Structures are given as structure tokens and as C-alpha cells.
């Protein structure tokens, strides 16, 4: 009942109201541009930020980067004359925790008032996993290398390929994933294919990560020296389910090679050079 009454009173509040801090939800007063002018106790409990850390900062800074466009659309809706707007967004706390919130935004004569109700327990786990997957995919697509997951067959049939494959090979992810006309093995230089196969299989038999250099034949017919780092994906019974790893332009990513060696646990020795 207290929450219902709070919601009814929400858009009649003024920044100077004495019970501003007592409402059982996060509450912010903003200027017309969405910059925080005052935050109540509920906001501090939700976000973990002190009041002096929030004032004169734009509310979008505290939202997940993928949700900021939705927040900006809400602001624009009020500028266009809509009296109120609401949406489900992710709020990033001071400790890095993401909380799903129902954000309600309303116009006041002196600016805007926003309420944020924590709805994390109500958000289906599937939706949270999908959001996490989108974030991870965006991160991988921004890397200057090809991240992959494939089956352990002679074609290296791809199940996932990041957007970096376009710059690396000249082909799009769609051309390589589950393709019957184009497979990744056909991109490997003919003189390197058998040795690539044997090196990967040796690593899988020993359940070791693999690391090696070889040549790719790109979409324009040019040859490119690349480095690959990867490892097997195993079932609980030890069966090989597939492979995952990265392929990068060897000359352009000397520093990244060291990071991938650490990531996949490959020893400090130089990778097997396939020629």
C-alpha cells in the first residue's frame, strides 16, 4: 500500500519535499536534459553512489550502454509533449552489478522526475541470459580478430564466427557459418591444411590448448599469415564436442598473441609454424 501511495504522489512532489527520502523507491529530480539535480535515499541504496557522486551527472551514465538509446528516446518523448514515459532498463551500480529497473519519467514545471523500481527478481532468467549474450557478442565483434566456435571435422564447420572475420578473410560470418558451399578448411592454404589438422588433433588427444601459425587464402585471392590459439570443448565423459579459439593477423597482432597465449593456457614456447 505504501508503494502504491508513493506512485500516486510521485509526480506531484517537489525537490524540497521533506518526505522525498522516505519513499520506498529510487527517486531522482532531473533537469530537462536528464542531468541529476537531487537523488533520494532509495537511489543511493539502488545504485550504491553517494549523492555528491551523482549530482550534475547525466542519468544515462548510470545505465547499461545498450539501454542508453532507449533512455534517450524516453527523454525525446517528453520533449515532444508526452506527459510520461516508462521502460525497462538496466542500471549499473557502483560495484558493477546490473539491476533491471522499471524507469518512469514525468515532466514537472521545474524539470523532470524519475522513479526507478528494482524489478530484477521479476525478469525471466532467459531474458537476462540473452542480454548477457548480446553484450558478449558486441564485445567480440569489436575485436580485431576472428573469434570462432566450430565442430571437429575436416571442414572445421563453423557454429559461431565473430564480425572480425570480414577484415581477416574478406568473408562475412554468414558465409562461413554452417555453409555447404564455403568452409573454413577451404580458406587454409592447401600446403598447410594437413599440418593444421594434425596439430589440432594432437592437442585434443592430450587435452591441451593449441597454438600455431599458418596461411589463409582470402576472398580476394591474397595470402595472409595468421596465428591461431584455441582449445577443445569436452563433455563430462571427455568426448570432444567442438573447438573454440581466435584467429588473428600475425604481423598486425603481435601483442594480442601474447594475451591469447595467456587466455588459452598455451605455453610460452613459440607456436608451431606451418609452412
Q: Which residues share a beta bridge with 231?
A: 244
CA torsion angle for 45, 48, 53, 55 (degrees, to 10)? -40
| Helices (H), ranges, the chain | 2-9, 41-47, 51-54, 68-79, 125-141, 164-169, 173-176, 193-205, 254-264
**What pTM does this model have?**
0.47
**Total count of domains within the chain:** 2
Residue 239 placed within a domain: yes
Last residue of a domain, one of 70, 91, 122: 122
Strands 272-273 and 210-217, by their bridges, are parallel
Range of the domain at 189: 142-267
> How does pLDDT run across 84-137, given as a tens digit for each residue?
999 989 898 888 888 889 999 998 878 899 999 998 887 766 566 556 556 555
Residues 102 and 178 in one domain: no
Query: 183: pLDDT confidence band, cut at 50, 70 and 90?
Result: very high
CATH of residue 208: 3.30.450.20
Arithmetic mean of pLDDT over the chain: 81
Q: Which residues contact 263 (CB under 8 A, 6 or more apart)?
A: 229
Cell of 216: 589463409
Cell of 58: 547525466
Last residue of a domain, one of 122, 153, 171: 122
Interatomic CA distance for residues 170 and 164, integer angstroms: 10
> How does pLDDT run across 143-172, given as a tens digit for each residue?
668 989 899 999 999 988 888 899 999 999
Residues 118 and 160 in one domain: no
Cell of 147: 573469434
Residues 260 and 197 in one domain: yes
Q: Residue 241: what pLDDT?
A: 86
Residues 51 and 157 in one domain: no
Longest dimension (CA), the chain: 78
Query: DSSP class of residue 82?
Result: -
Residues 96 and 208 in one domain: no
Residue 58 placed within a domain: yes
Q: Residue 109: what pLDDT?
A: 77
Residues 88 and 181 in one domain: no
Q: Which helix (H) or strand (E) holds 245?
A: strand 240-249
> How does pLDDT run across 234-269, given as a tens digit for each residue?
887 788 888 999 999 886 555 444 544 444 444 433
Amino acid at each position: 500500500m505504501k508503494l502504491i501511495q508513493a506512485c500516486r504522489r510521485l509526480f506531484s512532489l517537489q525537490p524540497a519535499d521533506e518526505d522525498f527520502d522516505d519513499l520506498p523507491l529510487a527517486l531522482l529530480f532531473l533537469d530537462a536534459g536528464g542531468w541529476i539535480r537531487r537523488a533520494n535515499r532509495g537511489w543511493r541504496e539502488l545504485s550504491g553512489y553517494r549523492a555528491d557522486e551523482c549530482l550534475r551527472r547525466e542519468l544515462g551514465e548510470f545505465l547499461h550502454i545498450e539501454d542508453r538509446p532507449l533512455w534517450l528516446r524516453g527523454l525525446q518523448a517528453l520533449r515532444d509533449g508526452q506527459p510520461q514515459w516508462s521502460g525497462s532498463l538496466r542500471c549499473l551500480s557502483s560495484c558493477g552489478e546490473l539491476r533491471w529497473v522499471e524507469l518512469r519519467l514525468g515532466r514537472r514545471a521545474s524539470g523532470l522526475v524519475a522513479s526507478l523500481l528494482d524489478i530484477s527478481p521479476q525478469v525471466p532468467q532467459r531474458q537476462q541470459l540473452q542480454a548477457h549474450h548480446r553484450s558478449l557478442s558486441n564485445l567480440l565483434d569489436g575485436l580485431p580478430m576472428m573469434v570462432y566456435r566450430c565442430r571437429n571435422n575436416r571442414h572445421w564447420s563453423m557454429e559461431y564466427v565473430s564480425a572480425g572475420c570480414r577484415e581477416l578473410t574478406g568473408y562475412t560470418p554468414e558465409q562461413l557459418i554452417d555453409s555447404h558451399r564455403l568452409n573454413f578448411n577451404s580458406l587454409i592454404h592447401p600446403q598447410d591444411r594437413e599440418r593444421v589438422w594434425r596439430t589440432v588433433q594432437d592437442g585434443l588427444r592430450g587435452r591441451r590448448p593449441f597454438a600455431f601459425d599458418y596461411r589463409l587464402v582470402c576472398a580476394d585471392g591474397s595470402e595472409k599469415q595468421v596465428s591461431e590459439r584455441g582449445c577443445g570443448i569436452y563433455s563430462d565423459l571427455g568426448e570432444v564436442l567442438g573447438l573454440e579459439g581466435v584467429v588473428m593477423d600475425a604481423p598486425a597482432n603481435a601483442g594480442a598473441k601474447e594475451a591469447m597465449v595467456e587466455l588459452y593456457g598455451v605455453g610460452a614456447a613459440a607456436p608451431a609454424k606451418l609452412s
